[in-house]
Structures are given as C-alpha cells and as structure tokens.
Amino acid sequence: MEVVLYLIPISVFLGGLGLVAFFWTVRSKQYEDPEGDSQRILSDEWDDHPRP
Amino acid sequence: MSAAARPQLAACPACSTAPSPEQIAAMSEVKSGRIMLSLPEVHCAACIVAVERELAQTEGVQSARVNLTLKRVAIEADADITADDMIEVMRTIGYEAHELDSATIAATATNKSGRDLLMRLAVAGFAMMNVMLLSIAVWGGAADATRNLFHWISALIALPAVAFSAQPFFKSALSVLAVRRLNMDVPISLAILLASAMSVYETWLGGEHAYFDAALSLTFFLLAGRYLDHRTRAIARSAAEELAALEVPRADRLENGELISVAIADLEVGDLVRVKPGGRMPVDGVITEGQSELDRSLLTGETIPVFAGPETTVSAGEINLTGPLTIRVTAAGKDTSLHRMADLVAMAESSKNRYTSLADKAAGIYAPGVHLLSFIAFAGWMYATGGDVRMALNIAVAVLIITCPCALGLAVPAVTTAASGRLFKKGMLIKSSTALERLADVDTVVFDKTGTLTTGMPELTNYNDFGDQDLAIALALAAGSSHPLAQSIRTAATANGVTAATLTSISEVPGFGISALWNDKIVRLGRANWVGADALDQTATYLQIGDSPARAFTFTDSLRDGAAELVNAYKSQGFAMHLLSGDAPATVQALANKLGIEHWTAKATPTEKSEFIMGLAQSGNKVLMIGDGLNDTAALTAAHVSISPASALDAARVASDIVLLGTDMAPLGDAIDIARKAKRRILENFGVAVVYNMIAVPIALFGFATPLIAALAMSASSITVSLNALRLR
C-alpha cells in the first residue's frame, strides 16, 4: 500500500497540470469564438506555413 | 433560483444592457485604432478568409480578425482609417457591414464575469473528481490509518477549492443577509460551509464520515447552473449591445456655412442642423429652411407623410423624406420628446418588476423550510441522545446537504438555456430572464400596425386603373425621387415591364412633388393640393397630365413577411387578438379584415394604447404586446410580456422582453408554445426535486445518511433534471 504515497501526489499533480492548462486557454481567450474556430480548419489559408 | 441569487440593481433588466445614445456618443470620443464592424452575412470558412484577406491587403490595416460566433470583425488600423472606409472595403467584396461602437462593446464586461465563473467551475470540477476518487476508496472499505490519510488529503484539496469556487454563493448570501432577507444562496452557503467545517472536525477526531466530496459536488453542480444562466444572458446581452451600438448618433451641424459632423450629445439649443432626405431627426426643433415631407409613423403610427416647411415643428425620431431641411434646435439630448418618452417608460412601474419568477417563489418556500428542518433535526437528536452535540450536528449537516437544492439550482437555468437556444435559432432574442415564464401565461395578443404587422412601405393598389401611357409618364416622373410613394410606383411599373416616357426639364419641388414637360404639356406627380385635386382619406399621390383633372394612385401599407401566418397560428391556438394603431380608421379596418383580426382600434394615442392594455390586465388577461414604434413603448412596458422587431426604435427595443431579429414574423407563432413547454419542464423539474427530497429527507432525519448516499442522490437528481431540460431541443 505504500505505493499510494507516490501515486496520489502524482495523480493530483497531473490533474493540476490539466487545470493550469485550462486556465491558460481561458485567459488567452480561446473560447471567444467556438463557431469560427470550427470553421477555420476548413480554410487552406495557412496550410504551408504557420501565421507569421 | 437564478434571479434570487443576484439582487437586481438596475431598474429593469434591459436598462443595464442598452446604453442611451448620449452615453454611446460620449464613449465614442475615446479614439483608438480599433474598429469593430458588424457583419450580419458572414457564415462560413470561405467568408472568414475572404474578409480577413481583403482587410489585410488594405493599406493602413495592421490586422483583422473575424468572430463568427458574434458575426463581427475587429480591425486594428492606423488612426487615420475610419470605419466608413472599412465599410466601403467590405461592400466591394459583397458584405453588408455596420459600424459598431467599440467603446460600448468594451464597456460592458460580459465576458469577464463569464470567464471568472468558468474558472471557478473548473476548479470545483477538478477538486471534486480527485476527492471523489479518494472517497470511493473509503466507501470501498479503507479503514483506520488509510481512511484518515485519505480524509486529510481530501481536506487539503477541498478546502482551498471551496474557498475559491464557492465565493459567488458566499457573496450573494452575505449581500441579502445584510438587508435581512433570505435567498437560495443562504442555505447553499450554509451547507457548503458547515459540511466542510464538520468534515474537518470529524477528520481531526478520526471519524468515519467526511463530506468533502458532497461540499465540492454541491459547489460544482450549482456553479454549472449559474454558468448556464450567465451564458444565456450574455448571448442576449451582446446582441442587445450590438443593436444599441448600431445607431451611431451623429448629426450635421451648420457652422459658418460649413457642415460639421458632431455627436448628438454636443448639440445645444439654438444650433442649426442639416437633415438630409432619408435622415432621422436627431433633435426637437423648428424648420428654418427647406421644404419636405415627414414620415411620423415611428412616433404616431400615421402612414401618410405630412408636409413640412419653414416654421413647422419637428420631433426627434421623425424621418425626413424628400428635401434637405435646416433645423434650429429647440431641445437636445435629455429634453427631446423622444427622450422624455423613453424616460416615461423607465419610470412606469411595469408588470415585469412586479412579477415573481418561479425560481423566486420556490426559493421563498424552500430556504426557510430547509433551515427549519435541519434545526429540528439538531434539536430532536440533542433531545433523543441526551445532549450528544457531535452526533446531532452531524445529522443536522447531513440534512442540510441532502436537502440542498442541486436539482433546484439546475431546474430553471437548464431549461431556459435549452429554450432560449431554440428561440435564438428561430431568430428571437430573450432579453429578460423571466420573459419565458411570462410568455407562457399569455392569453391575449395585441398588435401594433405600422412597422409591426406591416412594413411601413407603401404598396400600389390601383395599378390597373391606369393606361400604359399614364404609367410611362408616372414612371419617368417617379424615377428621380427617393420618396417612398414614388419608389413604390417605380417598383410596380418596372415589374410590369413599363418603359419610362421621355420627359424634359424634370424638377422636384421638395415637399410637393415632381413636375416635367411631356410633349410640351406640363405633367405633375405629387400632393393633392399641389396638382389641384381633392385629397382622399388614404395614402395617395396624384398624377396630372396637361389640363386634364388629376388622378390618384392609392397605396396600402404592405404586409410584413409572415404576418398572415402569425395571425393564423395564434388564431388556431385560441388567443384573443386586438389590433391597436395610431393610423386612420380606413387603413386599420382594411388590415384587420384582411388578416381576420376581430377587434381593432384606430387613432390611438400612446396613452390610450397603454390604458387599453392596463384595462385588459385589470380584467385578468395576460397580454402579449407586439409593437415597434415610440408610440408603443408605454404599451410595451404595461403589457405582461412584449416583443419588438429589430427594426424598431431603440426605445421600443429597450421596453420589450424579446427582440425578433429577422424580418419574417412567422417564427413568433411557435414562441408561446415553446415558452409553455419550457414552463412545464421547469415545473416537472421542481417535481423531481420534491420527490427526491421526500425520499432522502427522512433518511437523513433518522440518521441513516452517509456520504455515499448523499453523493448518489445529488448526482442522480442533477442528471435527471438536466436530461429533462434537454427534451426541449
């Protein structure tokens, strides 16, 4: 059972990482235009190289 | 529960959403290189690319980004680029664009509070899942040291998470307690706080039951309800902002013979203002120069344009039809008749403020009941156990948690989200949070005529009375004018393949009509007294050829798309209908007969309109008012619930609960039905909550509740309620 002493902190840490990532997506306004984002993948505008 | 949760500070729900033109004007003084345009027509990936590429290639534009959800584009550009330039660029590639006041949009921080709620929701969800994992181990049989360790880790995750996530409930509970009242957030806060505190105490003593997971799932489910509620209203608000921002309030002031564009807020009494044909009067005033005709339909409902010349008084909101007018300002800003009427509306105590939402009613019974119940549990167990405080407190907390209104918290927002989403897809925008419930009560519908059931655009009725030659002359005369009657003749004649006669020396006499020479005879098209005819009691213009007597082209107001379907739909659903108009009796009666509306009233003043509605309300009817004009605003406010089309004046839109975005009226036919279904779902959801409490409360009262039972009951009821709401789609 000693293994939980490692596993629990690790699982909480990994979950926390996900939470931080979610915070970042909210802060950087990635949920402002869900409809537009779903359409943008259909455009071939920046297919060759990323937007400068 | 949503309405009970946040005490309403604004006088009416719409007041906070729609800034007055003066505010907009004041805000637009802040100059920045940022331009916002509304693009109602963008809808696909190709549109996004086309718009962004075109703008990026325009000189002076640094970047442009389309937001498809809001149908807007935000442009970063050099300071000398104006919105008009950008609108022009959009027009060249075929997109209709309107300037939006970026200051207005930025000033309303809808997104900020939404983002805040979303973060709290995420934290609560994250913590809930982690603690739930540990709890499952405890329920699965972990004992002694392992159980204690798991409880301590749970506490470590749960306490900070609750402190952060549950803040909206704490704040709201404190604010109502400060004014010595109760709302749903009081039992919620109490349950969350007591559950956390009790669990820490139990963990400290190495006890068996800790309710950390319950405290967190409570927070999570309730926050989810609150977030749904917020999002529904944020969508409505952003569209309301957009409508308000569309009317960029500027006027052309005459200064030393030059026209200078200024904000309406800067106009003062005595200034001279030029109003172009087709323009709306920005202020109250007196005409000093020029002749024209005025369309007063938005203020009075009259469809026949009135003649205007020097010394005629004009009111803000009237539309100048034919000639340019110079106006001396007699009242500006807050003193204009338009503004006074809007103020009247704001002051009138509306039935909406008196309406108690279902959620508030439920909270009114629920909150005291819950407190009483858990107090009884505490007192009862103190007596039964002979003073075992720990035991009694444990049971009282279990009762609070079990009764805590997860299902109630989701019951209303889940349904309104689904219903407003469905109405939004049909082109209706719900502005007020209780509008759906009120719409469900409706049994009587009152329509305005001009601009609501009709488009306010005249349609030629006696086309066949004229010969080809007459029509050819009329078409040639009408071709040069922007007057709505002339345009209507033009449309009718061109549609029938008439070619214009050849005329010479055409001249328009603003306010009177058009004259020209045809085969050396004078031909004229215009007002009755100008061509020497007797005026008819309906909208008409008169054609005179040479010396022969003038003949009248008569017009009727053309029906709005879907108006007939709408009236039929309401008739088949059994609503009583009234037509209430400020227009002349002949036209009102004709329309009522055409649509089959039995009751009609003509020549109604704004006061008569609102008194009529209040009369209906006093005899126990729940009235839905559909109107668009300034003369309807008082009636819209007095009605139980009100709808206005997007083309309405902003004062009317502010006064109404629902805005119809498209031009087609037919979607309104389903609105009441959807609202009734929504109300039924809300009541069913309350039923679910009650049934669940009837089972769970005795269990808790007799001390059999465990954290596992609490978690199961809470999740089951929340999911049932959400699924029931989804049936609306």
- CATH number, position B263: 2.70.150.10
Residue B18: CB atoms within 10 Å: 24
Identify the pLDDT of residue B242: 59
Q: Sorting pLDDT into bands at 50, 70 and 90, what band is B128?
A: very high
- Report residue B347 CA to chain centroid gap: 19
Query: Are the beta carbons of B46 and A33 separated by less than 8 Å?
Result: no
Residue B700: inside a domain: yes
Closest residue by Cα to residue B479 from B506, B457, B461, B517:
B506
The ipTM is 0.83
Min CA distance, B436 vs chain A (Å)?
Answer: 26
B728 domain residue, yes or no: no
Which residues of chain B does A40 touch, with a Cβ-Cβ cutoff of 8 Å?
A: 45, 48
Domain count, chain B: 5
**Mean model confidence pLDDT for chain B:** 80
Q: Is residue B528 part of a domain?
A: yes
Q: Does residue B401 share a domain with residue B311?
A: no
Cα distance between residue B585 and residue B588, in whole Å: 5
Whole-number Å distance between alpha carbons of B540 and B523: 17
For an interface test with A, the pick among B55, B57, B130, B212 (most A C-beta atoms closer than 10 Å) comes out as B130
User: Hey, what amino acid is at B300?
Assistant: T
Q: Are residues B386 and B310 in the same domain?
A: no
Does pLDDT of B519 surpass 90?
no
In a domain, B210, yes or no: yes
Q: Considering only B534-543, B627-636, B649-658, which range has the smallest mean pLDDT?
A: B649-658
- A35 → closest Cβ in B68, B119, B153: B68
> Rounded to a whole number, what is the distance in Å from the CA of B119 to chain A's nearest CA?
7
Domain boundary among B660, B676, B692: B676
- With an 8 Å Cβ cutoff, are A23 and B146 in contact? no
Residue B513 inside a domain? The answer is yes
Which pLDDT score, from 0 to 100, does residue B337 have?
65
Contacting residues of B for A26, CB less than 8 Å apart: 115, 118-119, 122
Write out pLDDT tens, residues B230-276: 877 676 666 555 555 555 466 788 887 777 777 777 778 888 888 87
Residue B667: give its domain's CATH number.
Answer: 3.40.50.1000
Q: What is the pLDDT at residue B86?
A: 86
Residue B9: the pLDDT is 35
pLDDT-based confidence at residue B21 (cuts at 50, 70, 90)? very low
**Nearest residue to B226 (alpha-carbon basis) of B433, B385, B457:** B433
Give the C-alpha separation, B150 to B717, whole Å. 27
Q: What is the pLDDT of residue B241?
A: 59
Substitution target from B49, B117, B230 for chain A, most A beta carbons within 10 A: B49
User: Is residue B491 very low, low, confident or very high in pLDDT (cuts 50, 70, 90)?
Assistant: confident
Does B658 lie in the same domain as B574? yes
Do B428 and B564 reside in the same domain of the chain? Answer: yes
Asked which of B66, B100, B134 is the last residue of a domain, the reply is B100
CA distance B215 to chain A (A): 19
Nearest chain B residue to A5 by CA distance is B149
Subunit contact B130:A15, Cβ cutoff 8 A: yes
B134 shares its domain with B206: yes
Residues B501 and B642 in one domain: no
Mark whether B364 and B493 lie in a shared domain: no
Secondary structure element (H or E) that encloses residue B722, with its range: helix B707-726
Question: Does B575 share its domain with B450?
Answer: yes
Q: Is B703 left (phi over 0), alpha (psi -120 to 50) or beta?
A: left
Is B536 within the bounds of a domain? Answer: yes
CA distance B292 to B290: 7
Q: Are residues B613 and B655 in the same domain?
A: yes
B interface with A, Cβ–Cβ < 8 A, is 44-46, 48-49, 52-53, 66-70, 111, 115, 118-119, 122-123, 126, 129-130, 133-134, 146, 153, 157
State the pLDDT at residue B127: 93
> Are residues A32 and B111, on separate chains, in Cβ contact within 8 Å?
yes
Domain boundary residue among B80, B100, B120?
Answer: B100
Give the Cα separation of B218 and B460 in Å (integer): 65
Q: Does the distance separating the beta carbons of A15 and B67 come in below 8 Å?
A: no
Q: Which residue has the higher pLDDT, B154 or B418?
A: B154
Residue from B57, B119, B165 to probe the interface with A (highest A Cβ count within 10 Å): B119
Helix (H) or strand (E) segment spanning residue B37: strand B34-38
* Chain A positions with Cβ closer than 8 Å to B: 1, 8, 11-12, 15-16, 18-19, 22-23, 26-27, 31-36, 39-43, 45
Task: Read off the CATH number of the domain in which B552 is found.
Answer: 3.40.1110.10
Residue B9 lies in a domain: no
Active site residue B284: no
DSSP-assigned beta bridge partners for residue B34: B76
pLDDT at B161: 94
CA of A49 to nearest chain B CA: how many angstroms apart?
A: 16
Q: Which of B271, B295, B448, B650 is catalytic?
A: B448
Can you tell me the mean pLDDT for B288-300?
Answer: 78
The pair of three-digit structure tokens given for residue B641, joined into one six-digit string: 């619930």
Tens of pLDDT, residue by residue over B197-227, are 989 998 998 888 888 988 898 899 889 888 8
Domain co-membership, B343 together with B430: no
Tell me the two tokens of residue B321: 């039809």
Residue B724 lies in a domain: no
Q: What is the pLDDT of residues A21-41, one digit of tens each?
A: 998 988 888 887 888 888 888
Domain of residue B330: give its range.
250-347
The answer on B536 and B564 residing in a single domain is no
Are the beta carbons of A8 and B153 separated by less than 8 Å? Answer: yes
Q: Are residues B624 and B581 in the same domain?
A: yes
Pairing verdict, β B306-308 and B292-295: antiparallel
Which residues, 6 or more positions from B504, have their beta carbon under 8 angstroms from its beta carbon? B516, B517, B518
Contacts of B300 (CB under 8 A, 6+ apart): B582, B629, B631
pLDDT tens for B350-374 read 445 556 677 778 777 887 888 888 8
Cβ-defined contact of B69 to A15 (cutoff 8 Å): no
Check residues B471 and B99 and name the one with the higher pLDDT. B471
